[in-house]
């Protein structure tokens, strides 16, 4: 099995699906000859040509808006928004248009568009190249939100996303785009949306994360293990719809939970998880759930490593919840 | 064929009295089609009158009329049935022309169990996939880049289909107008931008939307032609749209058509123009009524007679009354349908919420009348 990083896995999925399905087209800023600023679409222009790999004018509302029209016509567009921080000019097209087309037309107009966008900090990108805006979109009925943490999931989830018929926001963890490497099967496979993965089994406490934060959570679990604490780590993989069964089963087993989220704390997706656990597993909880999050500040440049949750902060939270 | 005037000149085929202007040539339209076009404009006028009355009586929650703008709806005559229409909320005639039934139209207004969009949107937000009439959104301009994308999609698929997108002059102030026009220009997408410049965006006059001399000249900045036409002249509408469609299908790219018309009614049933508009202004525009002008033309062609119109009006009125009675007597969509079509398959959280709601005592929406 070849070893790939996340960029290569995304690229592999796109190539595979574009060869298999002529309806699949890619569009966005610099995705053509240049192959994307992170190289995720590298080689696609050469293989599939300018009609299926489109360098667009520089306007996110246009990228998503035109992708919607292509989807209504029967294509399977996979637009790229260069950084998640640039997605807001397309916000109305995503939340009011794309996400609502099927519903508002009484099921007459499904709009299968998969928007790929890199998210998250830790790359010295400052406020406009570091944000994790998933909660805005998780609050949007009609949209699915997928956030893989590693190469095999990135490939399998991207293939599954393009093949199903609902709009998907596919957020890629750019901090570990190249650092996260792993075996990725060649050829076709899918990882179903809505299924979390227990990436480390444990008995004492459940630690939930998604996207790049999964790697920080695993580091924290390693540190805790050195202190004899047996942590179960869940990679949520899909935010909407999230895997409630895996989450609740784990918390019922351990009785304790910490959630690690890179985005700002207030109204972050972690809050939704806390509420869900309280609704379904209150009597199994032996301690309050703690969230380890980004702060409720704009994403800072110089102090980004003070801002982002790290393994030590997570270990601190694990200890507090265990000792409560 | 009219010699294409410079973009800021107003292209007309008919004068206010329905005579073909010197130097203009009326497009060749078979008699049956002329009658069909007239009948569809009449239908819009009559159904608007009746539905607005129902709204005033409290039997409909909301309504929007197209009075005085009916000729612009008939641009679709110049297109093929498989071409796509991205409407705003003031072009129902384009749907009627393509076969949208009065029954479905009225059921949509009621949001009842027979509403083609299942009660999901306010009145006048139709969606009719089988006639390629795309779902309507309230925020203006959002459909413009979507139309561009669909047109590009058709080109990618190697098809000759094109898209026409309707919007008002107010929508030309949006970023999405710019974005949709710019992408279309760069891509040479087979899309027709059809601006109904009706003078008013609720209470805001066109002069407060743009300092530009016209809407049409904006096309120059995007690298394609803009043509200003008399939007109350159905023959100018059809002729110009046909030319733009031919250009698009020949791979020559988009065209912006600015159809000068006038919103004689209120923006919507919730609006009161007497607060902001001289009541003489709409009166003046009655003199260039698009239906009356077309009627005079047809009469001179020997196509229209008073007896024929009387019969057509009576048939339309009867259908409206019958379908309205039926729509008003049709119940609301089943409560569980609220959860359908959010996604193709219902995820667990929606399934749970639906089951929860179905266990509650049934509440009835106060907005639902019958």
Q: How many CB pairs under 8 A join A and B?
A: 149
Three-state DSSP state, B76: helix
Of B56, B53, B164, B64, nearest to B105 by C-alpha is B64
Instruction: Convert the pLDDT of each residue in A257-273 to its tens digit.
Output: 999 999 999 999 999 99
- Is the pLDDT score of B4 beyond 90? no
Give how far A167 is from chain B: nearest CA, Å. 9
- Residue A313: its pLDDT value, please? 98
Task: Show the tokens assigned to B248.
Answer: 């698009």
Helix axes B306-328, B31-56, angle to 10 degrees: 40
Q: What is the pLDDT of residue B8?
A: 54
Report the pLDDT value the prediction gives residue B363, as an integer from 0 to 100.
Answer: 65
Q: How far is B26 from chain A (nearest CA, A)?
A: 34
pLDDT class of B2 with cuts at 50, 70, 90: very low
Inter-chain contact B117–A244, Cβ cutoff 8 Å?
Answer: no
DSSP reduced 3-state for B228: strand
B48 interfacial to chain A (CB closer than 8 Å): no
When the pLDDT of each residue in chain B is averaged and rounded to a whole number, the result is 95
pLDDT confidence of residue A286:
98
- Residue A219 CB contacts under 8 Å (≥ 6 apart), including other chains: A311
Model confidence at B9, pLDDT cuts 50, 70, 90, reads confident
pLDDT digit string, tens, across residues B157-203:
999 999 999 999 999 999 999 999 999 999 999 999 999 999 999 99
Token pair listed for A254: 């351990």
Q: By CB neighbour count within 10 A (0-12 exposed, 13-18 middle, 19+ buried), where does A84 fall?
A: buried
Reported as a single tens digit per residue, the pLDDT across B230-282 is: 999 999 999 999 999 999 999 999 999 999 999 999 999 999 999 999 999 99
Angstroms from A163 CA to nearest CA on chain B: 12
Cβ(B33)–Cβ(B1) below 8 Å: no
Task: Tell me the average pLDDT of chain A.
Answer: 98
Buried b (16+ CB within 10 A) or exposed e, A21-53: eebbbbbbbbbbeebbbbebbbebbeebeeebb
The two beta strands, A197-200 and A231-235, are antiparallel
Helix (H) or strand (E) holding A291: strand A290-294
Report the chain A residue with the minimal C-alpha distance to residue B126: A105
Q: Which residue of A has its CA nearest to B162?
A: A73
CA-to-CA dists, residue A138 to A86, A210, A242, A265, angstroms: 17, 13, 10, 15
Instruction: Judge whether residue A38 has pLDDT over 90.
Output: yes
d(CA B178, CA B180): 6
pLDDT at position A180: 97
Q: Is B116 part of the contact surface with chain A (CB cutoff 8 Å)?
A: yes
Q: Are strands A114-119 and A144-146 parallel, antiparallel or unpaired?
A: unpaired
Which of B146, B147, B340 has its CB closest to that of A107? B340
Nearest one of A272, A275, A324 to A138, comparing CA atoms: A272
* Radius of gyration of chain B from its Cα atoms, rounded to whole angstroms: 21
- Give yes or no for a contact between A167 and A143, defined as CB atoms under 8 angstroms apart: yes
Which class for B245: exposed (0-12), middle (13-18), buried (19 or more C-beta within 10 A)? buried
Residues 6+ positions from A53 with CB-CB distance below 8 Å: A25, A26, A27, A31, A32, A41, A44, A45
ω into A241 cis (within 30 of 0): yes
With CA atoms as reference, report the closest residue to B227 among B9, B2, B77. B9
Asked if the Cβ–Cβ distance from A62 to B180 is below 8 Å, we say: yes
d(CA A37, CA A61): 19
Q: Which of A73, A98, A194 to mutate to test the interface with B (most CBs of B within 10 A)?
A: A73
CA distance B116 to B113: 8
| Partner residue opposite A106 with nearest CB, options B117, B153, B163 | B117
d(CA B327, CA A196): 47
Strands (E), A59-143: 76-80, 114-119
Query: B 86-115 residues with CB below 8 A of A?
Result: 86, 115
Instruction: Please tell me the pTM assigned to this model.
Output: 0.97
Q: Answer yes or no: are the C-beta atoms of B147 and B165 closer than 8 Å.
A: yes
What pLDDT band is residue B366 in, cutting at 50, 70 and 90? Answer: low
Segment B287-306 mean pLDDT: 97
Distances in whole angstroms, Cα of residue A203 to Cα of each of A206, A256, A286, A291, B26: 8, 10, 13, 19, 83
Query: Among the residues of chain A, which ranges form H helices?
Result: 6-20, 44-48, 60-73, 91-92, 101-104, 134-138, 151-163, 213-226, 244-254, 269-281, 304-307, 311-323
Based on the residue annotation, tell me whether B276 is a catalytic residue of this protein.
yes
Dihedrals phi, psi of A82, to nearest 5 degrees: -55, -40
CB contact under 8 A, B135 and A166: no
Cα–Cα distance for residue pair A87/A287, rounded to 1 Å: 38
Q: Which of B73, B267, B293, B295 is an active site residue?
A: B267
User: Is B46 exposed, middle or buried, given 0-12, 13-18 or 19+ CB atoms closer than 10 A?
Assistant: middle
Residue in B116, B145, B342 closest to A142 by CB:
B342
pLDDT beyond 90 at B1: no
Rounded average pLDDT over B345-360? 96
Interchain proximity B135–A144, CB inside 8 Å: no
Contacts 24+ apart (CB under 8 A), A137-141: A137/A94, A137/A95, A137/A169, A137/A240, A138/A239, A138/A240, A138/A269, A138/A272, A140/A94, A140/A95, A140/A99, A141/A99, A141/A100, A141/A103, A141/B342
CA distance B217 to B219: 5
Distance from CA of B352 to the nearest CA of A (A): 12
Average pLDDT over residues B53-65: 97
Contacts of A313 (CB under 8 A, 6+ apart): A292
Which chain A residue has its CA at the smallest distance from B119's CA?
A: A106
**Which pLDDT score, from 0 to 100, does residue B365 have?**
63
**Which pLDDT band holds residue B328 (cuts at 50, 70, 90)?**
very high
Q: Which residue is it, tokens 């509408």?
A: B237
DSSP lists the bridge partners of residue A24 as A76
- Whole-angstrom Cα distance, residue A115 to residue A78? 6
Contact B71, B260 (CB under 8 A): no
Calculate the CA B138 to chain-centre distance: 13
- How confident is residue B370, by pLDDT bands cut at 50, 70 and 90? very low
Contact B183 A52 (CB under 8 A): no
The answer on pLDDT for B97 being more than 60 is yes
Band of residue A122 on the pLDDT scale cut at 50, 70, 90: very high
| Catalytic center residues of A | 129
CA angle A23, A25, A27 (to 5 degrees): 160
Instruction: Show the CA angle centred on residue A109, arms to residues A105 and A115, nearest 5°.
Output: 120
Averaged pLDDT, B77-92? 98
Q: Can you give the length of chain A in residues?
A: 324
Across A298-309, average pLDDT: 97
Closest CA to B151 of B241, B216, B248: B248
Quick one: DSSP state of residue B361? P
pLDDT at B368: 53
In angstroms, rounded to a whole number, what is the distance separating the alpha carbons of residues A191 and A147?
Answer: 12
* Average pLDDT value for residue range A200-227: 98
Kindly state the average pLDDT of the residues B87-113.
98
B267 annotated active-site? yes
Of B127, B137, B176, the CB nearest to A106: B127
Alpha-carbon distance of B328 to A307, in angstroms, equals 59
At B361, the pLDDT band (50, 70, 90 cuts) reads confident
Residues in chain B: 370
pLDDT at B290: 98
Q: For a pLDDT cut of 70, what percent of chain B falls above it?
A: 95
């Amino acid at each position: 099995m070849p070893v790939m990083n996340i960029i290569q896995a995304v690229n592999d999925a796109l190539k595979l699906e574009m060869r298999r399905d002529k309806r699949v087209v890619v569009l966005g800023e610099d995705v053509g000859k240049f192959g994307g600023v992170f190289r995720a679409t590298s080689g696609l222009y050469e293989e599939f040509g300018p009609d299926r790999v489109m360098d667009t004018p520089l306007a996110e509302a246009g990228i998503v808006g035109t992708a919607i029209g292509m989807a209504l016509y029967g294509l399977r567009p996979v637009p790229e928004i260069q950084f998640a921080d640039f997605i807001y000019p397309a916000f109305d097209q995503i939340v009011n248009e794309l996400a609502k087309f099927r519903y508002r037309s009484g099921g007459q107009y499904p709009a299968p568009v998969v928007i790929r966008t890199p998210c998250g900090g830790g790359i010295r990108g400052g406020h406009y190249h570091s944000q994790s805006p998933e909660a805005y979109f998780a609050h949007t009925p009609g949209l699915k939100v997928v956030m893989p943490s590693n190469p095999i999931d990135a490939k399998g989830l991207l293939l599954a996303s393009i093949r199903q018929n609902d709009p998907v926001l596919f957020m890629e963890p750019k901090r570990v785009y190249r650092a996260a490497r792993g075996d990725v099967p060649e050829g076709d496979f899918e990882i179903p949306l809505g299924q979390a993965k227990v990436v480390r089994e444990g008995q004492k406490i459940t630690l939930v994360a998604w996207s790049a934060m999964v790697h920080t959570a695993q580091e924290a679990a390693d540190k805790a293990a050195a202190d004899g604490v047996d942590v179960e780590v869940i990679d949520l993989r899909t935010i909407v719809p999230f895997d409630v069964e895996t989450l609740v089963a784990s918390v019922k087993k351990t009785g304790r939970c910490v959630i690690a989220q890179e985005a700002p704390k207030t109204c972050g997706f972690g809050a939704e998880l806390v509420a869900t656990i309280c609704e379904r597993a209150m009597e199994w909880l032996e301690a309050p759930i703690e969230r380890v999050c980004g702060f409720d500040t704009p994403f800072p440049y110089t102090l980004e490593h003070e801002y982002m949750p790290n393994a030590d902060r997570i270990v601190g939270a694990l200890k507090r919840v265990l000792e409560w | 064929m009219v010699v294409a005037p410079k973009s800021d000149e107003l292209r007309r085929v008919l004068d206010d009295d329905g005579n073909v202007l010197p130097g203009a040539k009326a497009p060749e339209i078979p008699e049956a089609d002329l009658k069909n076009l007239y009948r569809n404009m009449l239908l819009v006028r009559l159904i608007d009158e009746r539905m607005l009355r129902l709204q005033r009586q409290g039997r409909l929650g909301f309504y929007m009329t197209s009075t005085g703008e009916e000729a612009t709806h008939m641009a679709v005559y110049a297109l093929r049935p498989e071409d796509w229409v991205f409407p705003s909320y003031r072009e129902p005639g384009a749907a009627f022309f393509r076969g949208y039934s009065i029954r479905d139209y009225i059921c949509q207004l009621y949001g009842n169990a027979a509403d083609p969009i299942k009660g999901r949107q306010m009145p006048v937000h139709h969606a009719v996939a089988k006639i390629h009439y795309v779902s309507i959104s309230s925020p203006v301009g959002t459909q413009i880049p979507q139309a561009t994308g669909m047109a590009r999609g058709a080109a990618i698929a190697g098809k000759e289909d094109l898209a026409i997108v309707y919007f008002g002059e107010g929508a030309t102030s949006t970023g999405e107008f710019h974005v949709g026009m710019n992408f279309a220009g760069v891509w040479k997408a087979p899309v027709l931008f059809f601006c109904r410049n009706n003078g008013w965006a609720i209470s805001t006059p066109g002069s407060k939307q743009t300092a530009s001399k016209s809407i049409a000249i904006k096309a120059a900045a995007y690298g394609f032609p803009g043509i200003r036409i008399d939007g109350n002249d159905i023959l100018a509408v059809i002729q110009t749209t046909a030319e733009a469609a031919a250009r698009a299908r020949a791979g020559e790219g988009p065209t912006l058509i600015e159809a000068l018309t006038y919103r004689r009614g209120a923006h919507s049933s919730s609006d009161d123009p007497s607060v902001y508009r001289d009541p003489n202004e709409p009166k003046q525009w009655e003199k260039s009524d698009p239906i009356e002008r077309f009627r005079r033309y047809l009469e001179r062609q020997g196509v229209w007679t008073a007896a024929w119109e009387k019969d057509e009006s009576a048939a339309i009125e009867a259908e409206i009354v019958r379908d309205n009675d039926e729509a008003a007597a049709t119940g609301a969509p089943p409560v569980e349908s609220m959860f359908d079509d959010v996604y193709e398959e219902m995820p667990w959280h929606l399934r749970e919420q639906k089951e929860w709601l179905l266990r509650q005592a049934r509440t009835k929406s106060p907005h639902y009348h019958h």
